[in-house]
Amino acid sequence: MKKSIIILSFCLIGLSCQNPSTALPRIAIAGLAIESSTFSPARTEAAAFHASQGEAVFDRYPFLTADHPNRKRAKWFPTLKGHALPGGQVTRQAYDSLMGITLEMLKQNLPYDGLFFDIHGAMTVEGLADAEGDMINKIRSIVGPQTIISTSMDLHGNVSQQLAQQSDLITCYRMAPHEDALESKQRALENLLDRLEQGLGKPQYKAWIPVPILLPGEQTSTRIEPGKGLYAQVPLVANQEGVTDAAIWMGYPWADEARNHGVIMVTGDQKDKVQQGAEKLAQAFWAARNAFDFVAPTKEFQAALAQALASKKKPFILSDMGDNPTAGGAGDVTWTLRELLNHPDFSEPNGKKLIYASIPGPQLIEQAIEQGIGQRVRAEVGAAVDNRYAPPLMLEGTVTAIHKGDKDAVVEAVVQVGQISVIVTQKRKPYHHLSDFTNLGLDPKNTDIVVVKIGYLVPELYDIRGDWVMALTPGGVDQDLKRLPYKHIQRPIFPLDAAMETPDLGVRWIPQSEKP
Ligand SMILES: [Zn+2]
């Protein structure tokens, strides 16, 4: 960023710009983002990506709006950008159709100086072992070897050598929860713009270090140590002269693929700085491995519920972790809701009040719309996708709210059963914001217990918590990785092979991108 300001000031005072060409750089935008579990029976179809095409893609980026200075720094060619909620594997048909549109659109405006590749990095597609590697190979084969591709990722993504090679610039978030998501995407884009404007081309060095660690996000939040201190070292490496960017990927544990493990990457033009920075981060990551632990007290569900019922703190938040849709759970496991509905305390007239967020139940939603607020409904909910732990649940109660128009849920209703307010949705939806509750007439701050299909709490819920326990409930994103039937991840890996020897944490130099 600093460099571009200097160049801009040269231009303003009438000296010649360092930009070798006076024409604006031509930059394309593309990318599909999802994290998808191979341990879930769910499948993800194309519609789940809510793909935008052409000009509509700009709406996703506050740093690319019509009046933002970045918009004038290049001639833009947005193609297709999609972002789905985490889920099961993407069907081959969905992937092929979305990639088909992307590649066709890319062909229309060749050549490009740059391409902003905005992905998550943990997409699994039926029949592909490295979906993002395949995606960037296909893009590279259209745009050619000269185009500078700047890849922006989630820190829970995976960086195969293939993806590392075809990405000329690459970075990821530095915070979990991802409060810096937009900031990271902006950095990826501005690094690209800066290098193009300055005629610097691709960074000369790309250091890649695989770190054989695979942990759930619930143990690696950057809110607390050791994640906090580890990620605090990233900007110290990245901000050095001669270094373009630095990043630590935690990887994604709920897909069984060889590329899933921790990775360090540093890019830049000064070889020694790039190497030292990457090796320092890799050693720090490895040294911290035994200190990673769940970010909140973690208990079996019955113990967690007993603690919540005995507590005077409001709201007592229980994470229903095993079916967390934001990690790739189906989001429709009924196991936890069944336990709650069967619990006698919640049918007492003066019992504790509880909000359950949430369970999909399209049949019940239909009834609620037909009957209206204040009326009784009775229909099966949940377990349409993941019925491995409990069957669909017959839910009977009074409708207290109906809300239409949510992007994910489409229609939501609240059904009151005893002291429990059950949020039922037409399609699955994660409940992360206070407005998700208040839109439904619910007041989570003043409710005794709030149960959410989530792992670590997102900021708005974290800030209102009276207390919080993460419950080890069953589902497609089981937090006990030792219970998962891995066959393809590289072994040994921590913590599955805890007694392993110190791995090689030296730099692997990644060659420049080339036509695949
Ligand atoms: Zn993430």
Q: Rounded to the nearest whole angstrom, what is the distance from the C-alpha of residue 391 to the centroid of ligand 1? A: 30
Question: Measured in angstroms, how far is the CA atom of residue 6 from the centroid of ligand 1?
Answer: 34
CA separation for the pair 174, 193 (Å, rounded): 21
**Alpha carbon of 124 to ligand 1 centroid (Å):** 15
Q: Are strands 52-53 and 75-83 parallel, antiparallel or unpaired?
A: antiparallel
Describe the strand order of the beta sheet including 262-268 as a list of residue ranges.
243-249, 262-268, 205-211, 508-509
Mean pLDDT across 378-388 = 96
Say if residue 17's pLDDT is above 50.
no
Mean pLDDT of 56-72: 98
pLDDT tens-digit map of 165-187: 999 999 999 999 999 999 999 99
- Write down the pLDDT at residue 3: 41
Q: pLDDT at position 231, please?
A: 98
How many whole angstroms from 420 Cα to the centroid of ligand 1?
31
- Interval between CA 503 and ligand 1 midpoint (Å): 25
Cα atoms found within 13 Å of the Cα of residue 145, Cβ hemisphere only: 7
Q: How far apart are CA 387 and CA 368, in angstroms?
A: 24
CA of 155 to the centre of ligand 1 (A): 6
Backbone angles phi, psi at 310, to 5 degrees: -85, -15
175 C-alpha to ligand 1 centroid (Å): 9
* 473 vs 476, more confident: 473
Residue 14 has pLDDT above 70, yes or no: no
User: Which residues hold their Cβ within 5 A of ligand 1, which is an ion?
Assistant: 154, 156
Q: pLDDT value at position 314?
A: 96
Q: Could you identify the residue written with the tokens 């209206």?
A: 372
Task: Report how far ligand 1's centroid is from the alpha carbon of 67 (Å).
Answer: 30
Ligand 1 centroid – CA 42 distance (Å): 19
Distance 215 CA to ligand 1 centre (A): 12
Dist. CA 154 → ligand 1 center (Å): 5
What's the whole-model pTM score? 0.86
The values of phi and psi at residue 152, to 5°, are -115, 130
Of the ranges 20-24, 162-166, 257-261, 445-449, which one carries the lowest mean pLDDT score? 20-24
Backbone φ and ψ of 398, nearest 5°? -105, 135
Tokens of 255: 């897909």
CA–centroid distance, 346 to ligand 1, in Å, is 35
Mean pLDDT (whole number) for 182-195: 98
List beta partners, residue 377: 397
Tell how far the Cα of 153 is from the centroid of ligand 1, in angstroms: 9
- Spatial distance between the Cα atoms of 237 and 400, rounded to a whole number of angstroms: 53
Distance 125 CA to ligand 1 centre (A): 18
Average pLDDT over residues 124-135: 97
CA of 3 to the centre of ligand 1 (A): 30
Stretch 371-376: mean pLDDT, rounded? 98
Distance 324 CA to ligand 1 centre (A): 13
Q: Would you place residue 476 in the very low, low, confident or very high pLDDT band (cuts 50, 70, 90)?
A: confident
Among 39-43, 112-116, 118-122, 152-156, where is mean pLDDT lowest?
39-43
Residue 178 CA to ligand 1 centre (angstroms): 7
Between the CA of 267 and the centroid of ligand 1 the distance, in Å, is 22
Beta pairing, strands 243-249 & 262-268: antiparallel
The structural domains of the chain, with segments of one domain joined by +, span: 2-293, 301-471
% of the chain exceeding 70 in pLDDT = 96
- Say how many Å lie between the CA of residue 447 and the centre of ligand 1: 29
Of 352, 224, 380, give the one whose Cα is nearest residue 292. Answer: 224
Mean pLDDT of all residues in the chain? 94
CA of 221 to the centre of ligand 1 (A): 10
Rounded distance from Cα 450 to ligand 1 centre (Å) = 23
Average pLDDT over residues 46-73: 98
CA 336 → CA 342, 390, 451, 453, distances in Å? 10, 9, 9, 10
For residue 64, the CA-to-ligand 1 centroid distance in Å is 23
Residue 478 has pLDDT above 90, yes or no: no
Indicate whether 18 pLDDT > 80: no
CA of 430 to the centre of ligand 1 (A): 14
Rounded to the nearest angstrom, the distance between the alpha carbon of 326 and the centre of ligand 1 is: 9
What is the Å distance from ligand 1's center to 62 Cα?
Answer: 20
pLDDT band at 9 (very low <50, low <70, confident <90, very high): very low
**Partners of 53 in the β-ladder:** 80
Q: What is the per-residue pLDDT for 512?
A: 87
Q: What value does the mean pLDDT take over residues 126-143? A: 98
> What pLDDT score does 479 carry?
86
Q: Phi/psi of residue 8, each to 5°?
A: -60, -40
Residue 15 has pLDDT above 70, yes or no: no
Task: Indicate the helix (H) or strand (E) that contains 424.
Answer: strand 420-425
> CA–CA separation, 322 vs 308, rounded Å?
18
pLDDT at position 483: 79
Task: List pLDDT tens digits, range 282-331.
Answer: 999 999 999 999 988 999 999 999 999 999 999 999 999 999 998 889 99
Give the Å distance between the CA of 327 and the centre of ligand 1: 8
Q: Tell me the CA–centroid distance for residue 242 and ligand 1, in Å.
A: 28
Q: Helices 92-108 and 131-143 sit at what angle, rounded to 10 degrees?
A: 20
- DSSP one-letter string for 481-505: GGGS--SSS-SS-BTTTTTPPPP--
pLDDT at 409 over 50: yes
The alpha carbon of 144 and the centre of ligand 1 are apart by a number of angstroms equal to 30
pLDDT at 6 over 60: no
pLDDT of 514: 75
Mean per-residue pLDDT, 100-112: 98
Report how far ligand 1's centroid is from the alpha carbon of 501 (Å): 28
CA of 176 to the centre of ligand 1 (A): 7
Q: Decide: 439 and 283 in contact? Cβ < 8 Å.
A: no
Tokens of residue 239, six digits = 């901000």
In this prediction, residue 2 carries a pLDDT of: 40
d(CA 309, CA 280): 46
pLDDT band at 513 (very low <50, low <70, confident <90, very high): confident
pLDDT at 413: 98
pLDDT band at residue 7 using 50, 70 and 90 as cut-offs: very low
